[in-house]
Amino acid sequence: MPELPEVETTVKSLNILKNKKVIKLSIHTKKLRFLVPNKSLQKIVNSKVINLRRIAKYVIIDLNTANSIIIHLGMSGRLKILKNQNLLSKHDHIVFVFVDNYTLIFNDPRKFGFIDITRSDKINNIRYIKRLGIDAMDKKLNTDYLYERFSKSQVLIKQLLLNQHIVAGIGNIYASEILYDARISPMLKGKELNKSQIGTIIKSIKKILKKAIKFGGSSINDYVSPDGTLGNFQNNFKVYGKEGRIVDGNKIKKIILHGRSTFFCPDIQK
C-alpha cells in the first residue's frame, strides 16, 4: 500500500495539472472499494484544478467550483499522467482528460482504492478524514500528544504507529524502518515507553519519512509515481525485506505481528 512518502510524491507529480481544465471524464467501473459517485464526478467537467495536496494517505484535488476530489490508492492503486496518449491499459478505471492533451488515469488492479467528491469546505467533516490522527509530518506531533495515547496502552508500539487514528500516514514498511532508527523493539507495549523513547520515535518518524520523500518513495509492490518514475528509497532500507542479512554489523530478523511482516534487529532494538 502506498504510504505517506509515496502519496506525497504522487501529489508533487500531479502539480503539472494545476490551473488546467477538465474537458472530459470517463468511468469504466461502477465500484472500487466503494461505489464510484458517477453523477457527481461527471459534474466536474469544465472545472479547473486550483490546488493539489495530501491529507494523510489521501490525494486531494481542489477545484475552482469549491469542490474537492479525494483519492485513496488502496493496496495496488496508482495515478498515471499521460501526454498526447489515449490508449487505456487493463485496470484503468477512471480517466480525466485535461486541456493541452494531458490525461490523468486512476488504475487499480485490486480495486481496494476509492474516489470521492465533496465540497472543499466540508472535507474535514467526512468520516474517514475526521477520524484521522495528527499527520506524521505535522509539527503538532509531539511527545506529550503521543505519551498521552501510549502510556496506558497494552498495544505493541508497531501497531500503535500503524493506527491512523493516532498518527496518520505511516504504514508497515516505514514503521519497521522508524523503529530500527529509534532503536526501539517493535514488541514493546505502548505503556512500556517513557517520554524520552517517544521523543526519539518522533525524531525517527520525521527523519525516515523526509528521507523517503526525498528519494521519491519506495518502488516496491509495483508503486510508480504518476509520471512513471520509480522511487529509490527501497535502496536505503535498513531492515525491511532484509531477513537474515547483516546490517551495520547486526543480523536482521523477521517476525509476524498481527498478520504483518515485521523486520528488526533484536541485538540493538530493546
Question: Among 54, 57, 78, 238, which one carries the catalytic annotation?
Answer: 57
- Give the count of beta carbons closer than 10 Å to the beta carbon of residue 244: 8
Residue tagged 507529480 (cell numbers): 13
Query: What is the residue whose three cell numbers read 509515496?
Result: 6
Give the H or E element holding residue 168.
strand 167-168
What grid cell was written down for 42? 461527471
For residue 260, indicate whether it is catalytic: yes
Angle at 14 between CA 8 and CA 17, to 5 degrees: 155
Catalytic residue, from 183, 207, 254, 260: name it: 260
- The C-alpha atoms of residue 150 and residue 148 are separated, in whole angstroms, by 6
* Annotation marks residue 53 as catalytic: no
Distance CA(169)–CA(10), nearest Å, equals 14
| Active-site hit among 2, 5, 186, 226 | 2
139 is annotated as an active-site residue: no
The partner residues of 102 in beta bridges, in order of sequence, read 83, 98
Residue of 3, 6, 8, 177 with catalytic role: 3
Residues composing the chain: 270
Q: Is there a catalytic annotation at residue 2?
A: yes
What are the catalytic residues? 2-3, 57, 260
